[in-house]
Amino acid sequence: MKKLKVQIHLEMTVPGDWELVQTSEGTPVLKLPNGQYLDLAIEPLFADDPEDTWRSTDSDAALNDILDMVESEEVSYEFVTH
């Protein structure tokens, strides 16, 4: 097996009423005004051709196989105010 390191950095413009909260385990997540919570994390996408439409899998087994390969994940959130 080989090690693959993937870093994902996103900058998003979000509504002003989104909030940062922490789960009971101390994991930061976003609280949305509709009572839902959002965690941005890895979601594998698949395609039969790299020029084709990429899609999520309907197979829990395939998704779990990929997620089982993840040894660690780090997501950080920071609101930037100007």
pLDDT digits (tens, 9 = 90+) for 50-77: 999 999 988 999 999 999 999 998 888 8
Angstrom distances, CA of residue 29 to CA of 1, 4, 80: 32, 25, 16
Of 31 and 42, more confident: 31
82/29 Cα distance (integer angstroms): 22
* Share above pLDDT 70 across residues of the chain, in percent, rounded to a whole number: 100
58/46 Cα distance (integer angstroms): 11
pTM of the model: 0.69
pLDDT at 31: 96
Of 31 and 41, more confident: 31
